[in-house]
Copies of this chain bind each other. A is one copy, B any other.
Amino acid sequence: MATIDDVAKAAGVSASTVSYVLSGKRPISPRTRERVERTIRDLGYRPHAGARALASSRSNVIALMVPFRPGINVQIIMQFVAGVVSAARAHDHDVLLLTQDDSSGVDRVASSSMADAIIVMDIEAEDERLPALRSLKQPSVLIGVPSDPSGLSCVDLDFTAAGRLAVRTLTDAGHRRLALIGASQERFDRRANYAVRMRAGATEEAELRGADCAVLPCEPNFAGGTAALERVLDEMPGVTGLVVHNELALPGVMSALERRGVRVPEDISVVAIGAADTGTALARELTGIDVPGEDIGRVAVEMVMAQLDGEALSSTRLVSPDVTPRGSVAAPAV
């Protein structure tokens, strides 16, 4: 591998000049720049990442901690990751993959200077990793909002607004008796922010609109979905609008609807909240609020970069939800 000295020699300049051509941190005459750039290309020169990191104390790597626990929505995870990686590349950074269960990962990566910053996904209300993150010298960004986000930067979908929007979509169509099939009881028990805020937004908005919104926690799988739907049909006969905030249960819900002969949207209107392409496992697409995974990942990277550039205090950014009509909402039958 060619080194910076090889390039310098071949181009007839000093090593620092090559370095400055690459970094743009000081003016270079057009002639020199041209010559150096040609040499770099000819030799196929690439700075040694380690040497650069050592000298500049910047690795140009950001670490990303991804959850791999079961019952998680892999679809959306991949979207986040894709967003993070592509945004990072756009800022000339690479991404180091950490997993949730690698408990010492944050410390290791931080204190060995492998990464300049850390993005952590799937944050719980009382996340165990928060203390470690707070005491880091590197900046970090959380995807998800803990109950105490002080001193930390967070991004997430605005789930309160999403709850409101989902309900409003139904009440605007004329529905007054709604049911929310939401996250699992376990998620609510652990006060998972997204589950709790979604529910809060939905119930508040329902109240505001003079509507009724029952909430059913639901296991994140097919059987959970069918079970929840059975309960709605059997115990809440007046319900004409359904909000489903549980991608893994959604196939179960839809299948049960069909089996019970309930038509969508003629008999029941459905609004889904989840990854954009959840519909692929379904017979039909649903009107819904697509969690913009890629966008959120992108924003996380922007926040990281801002912090690395010395701008930006810790703050929480909530991305506004949008509803995409796909024909599963209509006026209730009279």
A contact set with B: CB distance below 8 Å: 1, 44, 46-54, 59, 61, 64, 68, 70, 74-75, 77-78, 81-82, 85-86, 89, 94-99, 102, 107-109, 111-114, 137, 221-222, 226, 248, 251-252, 255, 258-259, 277, 279-283
Contact = CB atoms under 8 A, between A and B. Distances in A.
Given A44-B111, A50-B51, A226-B283, 14 more contacts: A1-B113, A48-B113, A61-B96, A64-B97, A68-B78, A68-B82, A74-B78, A78-B78, A85-B97, A94-B114, A222-B279, A222-B280, A248-B281, A252-B283
A112 B251 contact: no
Contacts of A1: 111, 113, 137
A46 B54 CA distance: 14
A305 to B, nearest CB: 18
Kindly list the 7 A-B residue pairs having the minimum CB-CB distance in the complex, ordered from nearest.
Answer: A50-B53, A46-B111, A50-B50, A50-B54, A49-B112, A281-B281, A49-B114
A108 B282 CA distance: 40
**Best-surrounded residue of A61, A94, A107 (most CB of chain B within 10 A):** A94
Binding site of A, secondary structure by majority: helix, strand, loop or mixed? helix
A229 to B, nearest CB: 12
A277 B222 CA distance: 12
A109 B279 CA distance: 36
Contacts of A281: 222, 248, 251, 281
Given A85-B99, A111-B1, A114-B94, A50 B46 contact: no
A97 B95 contact: yes
7 contacts: A48-B112, A49-B50, A54-B54, A68-B82, A96-B97, A255-B255, A258-B259
A128 B178 CA distance: 52
Contact of A251 (B49, B251, B259): B251
A97 B115 CA distance: 13
A258 B258 CA distance: 11
Contact of A221 (B75, B96, B280): B280
Contact of A112 (B47, B95, B255, B277): B47
A248 to B, nearest CB: 6
Contact of A94 (B48, B74, B96): B96
A327 to B, nearest CB: 16
